[in-house]
């Protein structure tokens, strides 16, 4: 019975192994060999699958940290620019500042200038840092950097050519801000328009003229600019008198009038230096023109000139000095 039992079970086992047992054995072998194959694949591709991604993440992580550090340094510098008093070349004895440093316009001028410069520095630093990081990452991936850089150069050249006026405006705005050519509150002559600066940007400067018209001038179009509120101004008057008048008496009367104006408490803050009689400016058969010069704070020269004309008129009338006109009957225009 035992031998029959053994002989009866062996065919069943063999049959079971030949029929349903073979796929089961293959599945077990595959399950055992699968981890080995994955480990081999990881061993063969360890650098590409693990090391390079980690290196790329590290590169961009360092770039992000470096960008934050640089931006914090720039923000700190901008804060100092906003808090410090502006050092200007005309802060000297005998000269006055363009705008009161504690006034709101001066603070707004410094704030706009500092924020514009800070914005440029932040954008430039971000582009440089991330640009270097991208190049390093592409190098790790094995991409041909020469062709990538050449393609990027072509794209950049095309964009620069298409937006050359915009680039010109931005570069001119950056140079203007860095050199502090003018700012909010200054009265300037920008060529196409003249007026008070209300806003200074990297691309456009906004002016308001004496008629209240707002002008938007592209910084790249400003070839030359005259700032009427930096340093000091000069009131220059040409005083025509009759040819037959005694020049000694005329000069004495003008000098006395100038001294009276300079010693007036209401006008002393508007006269920086003692007025000067420069002498005879022109000579014709009908009249003698005497030129007078007075140094004043910015934008005060016109007011001082009007006051001096009124005082000279009263002084000439009291002294009996005649003021002559040119033969054509038109009065000479003051400078």
The verdict on 150 and 191 lying in the same domain is no
Are residues 193 and 110 part of one domain? no
Structure tokens at 199: 């806003």
Residues 6+ apart with CB under 8 A from 81: 110, 113, 114, 117
Does the structure show a pLDDT above 50 at 9?
A: no
- Rounded to whole angstroms, how far apart are CA atoms 134 and 215? 42
Asked if residue 106 is part of any domain, the answer here is: yes
Average pLDDT over residues 250-263: 91
CATH number at residue 192: 2.30.30.60
Q: Is residue 114 part of a domain?
A: yes
Domain ranges, residue 113: 53-162
Residue 169 lies in a domain: no
Q: DSSP E strands: which ranges in the chain?
A: 187-189, 194-200, 204-208, 214-218, 226-227, 233-242, 276-283, 287-296
Is residue 78 within 8 Å of 118, Cβ to Cβ? yes
Share of residues in the chain with pLDDT > 70 (%): 74
Closest CA to 121 of 166, 64, 158, 75: 75
CATH of the domain at 145: 1.10.287
Q: Are residues 145 and 78 in the same domain?
A: yes
169-196: average pLDDT: 84
**Residue 299 and residue 209 in one domain:** no
> Quick check: 191 pLDDT over 80?
yes
The CATH code of the domain that includes 272 is 3.30.70.100
Residue 29 lies in a domain: no
- Is there a single domain that holds both residue 185 and residue 222? yes
Whether residues 223 and 251 share a domain: the answer is no
* Domain total of the chain: 3
Whether residues 68 and 85 fall in one domain: yes
273 and 248 in one domain? yes
Q: Is residue 3 part of a domain?
A: no
Would you state the pLDDT for residue 109?
A: 63
Q: Are residues 85 and 152 in the same domain?
A: yes
Q: Which of 105, 133, 162 is the last residue of a domain?
A: 162
Task: Say how far apart CA 123 and CA 111 lie, in whole Å.
Answer: 18
One domain for residues 150 and 187: no
Give the model's pLDDT for residue 85: 52
Looking at the structure, do residues 200 and 216 belong to the same domain, yes or no?
yes
Higher pLDDT, 78 or 126: 126
Token readout for 261 is: 């104006």
pLDDT of residue 145: 72
User: Residue 323 above 60 pLDDT?
Assistant: yes
Does residue 46 fall inside a structural domain? no
pLDDT in tens, 57-89: 999 999 999 999 999 998 888 887 776 554 444
Report yes or no on 185 lying in a domain. Answer: yes
Residue 202: what pLDDT? 82
pLDDT, tens digit, 9 for 90 and up, residues 13-50: 444 444 444 454 445 455 455 556 767 776 676 777 77
- Asked whether residue 153 falls in the same domain as residue 70, the answer is yes
**Inside any domain, residue 129:** yes
Q: Which residues contact 325 (CB under 8 A, 6 or more apart)?
A: 240, 286, 287, 331
């Amino acid at each position: 019975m035992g031998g029959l039992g053994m002989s009866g079970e062996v065919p069943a086992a063999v049959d079971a192994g030949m029929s349903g047992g073979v796929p089961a054995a293959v599945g077990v072998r595959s399950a055992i060999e699968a981890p080995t194959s994955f480990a081999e694949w990881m061993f063969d591709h360890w650098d590409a699958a693990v090391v390079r991604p980690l290196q790329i993440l590290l590169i961009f992580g360092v770039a992000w940290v470096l960008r934050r550090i640089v931006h914090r340094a720039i923000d700190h510098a901008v804060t100092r620019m906003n808090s410090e008093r502006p050092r200007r070349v005309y802060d000297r004895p005998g000269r006055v500042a363009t705008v009161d440093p504690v006034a709101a316009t001066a603070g707004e001028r410094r704030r706009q200038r500092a924020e514009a410069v800070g914005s440029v520095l932040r954008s430039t630093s971000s582009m440089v840092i991330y640009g270097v990081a991208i190049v390093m990452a592409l190098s790790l991936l094995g991409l041909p950097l020469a062709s990538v850089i050449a393609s990027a150069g072509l794209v950049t050249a095309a964009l620069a050519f298409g937006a050359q006026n915009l680039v010109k405006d931005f570069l001119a705005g950056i140079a203007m801000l860095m050199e502090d050519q003018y700012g909010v509150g200054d009265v300037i002559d920008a060529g196409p328009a003249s007026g008070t600066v209300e806003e200074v940007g990297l691309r456009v400067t906004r002016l308001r003229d004496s008629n209240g018209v707002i002008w938007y001038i592209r910084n790249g179009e400003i070839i030359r600019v005259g700032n009427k509120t930096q340093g000091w101004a000069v009131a220059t008057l040409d005083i025509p008198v009759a040819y037959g008048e005694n020049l000694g008496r005329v000069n004495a009367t003008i000098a006395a009038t100038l001294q009276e104006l300079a010693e007036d408490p209401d006008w002393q803050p508007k006269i920086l230096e003692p007025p000067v009689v420069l002498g005879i400016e022109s000579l014709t058969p009908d009249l003698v023109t005497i030129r007078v010069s007075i140094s004043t704070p910015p934008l005060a020269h016109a007011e001082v000139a009007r006051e001096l004309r009124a005082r000279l008129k009263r002084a000439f009338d009291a002294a009996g000095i005649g003021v002559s006109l040119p033969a054509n009957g038109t009065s000479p225009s003051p400078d």
